[in-house]
C-alpha cells in the first residue's frame, strides 16, 4: 500500500513522534505547529519543575 503525503497537526510530543514514525516508513510527513517552537505542553515542564533538565535538551534528543 502506498500512502501519499500526510499532514500532522500539532508539534507536541505525539505530533513529533508521529511524524518521525511516518518518515521512517517512507511516508512524507508535514508537521504543522502554530507556535514558534515545538514541544507543546512538554516545553512548559521546566517552568513547573525547574530542577529537571531543560526540556529543550529532551526534545533535541528526539
Each residue's pLDDT tens digit, 10-53: 999 899 999 999 999 999 999 999 988 888 877 776 666 666 66
Interval 2-11 mean pLDDT = 91
In a domain, 1, yes or no: no
User: Residue 28: CB partners within 8 Å, gap ≥ 6?
Assistant: 4, 5, 6, 22
Reported as a pLDDT band with limits 50, 70 and 90, residue 6 is very high
Q: Nine-digit cell at 27?
A: 511516508
- Rounded to two decimals, the pTM is 0.68
In a domain, 12, yes or no: yes
Interval 4-15 mean pLDDT = 94
d(CA 10, CA 47): 21
Please check the confidence at residue 56 and state whether its pLDDT lies above 70: no
State how many domains the chain has.
1
Give the structural domain span for 26.
6-60
Amino acid at each position: 500500500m502506498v500512502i501519499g503525503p500526510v499532514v500532522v497537526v500539532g508539534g507536541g510530543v505525539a505530533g513529533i513522534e508521529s511524524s518521525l514514525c511516518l518518515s521512517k516508513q517512507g511516508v512524507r510527513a508535514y508537521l504543522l505547529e502554530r507556535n514558534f517552537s515545538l514541544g507543546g505542553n512538554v516545553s512548559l515542564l521546566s517552568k513547573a519543575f525547574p530542577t529537571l533538565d531543560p526540556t529543550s535538551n529532551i526534545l533535541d534528543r528526539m
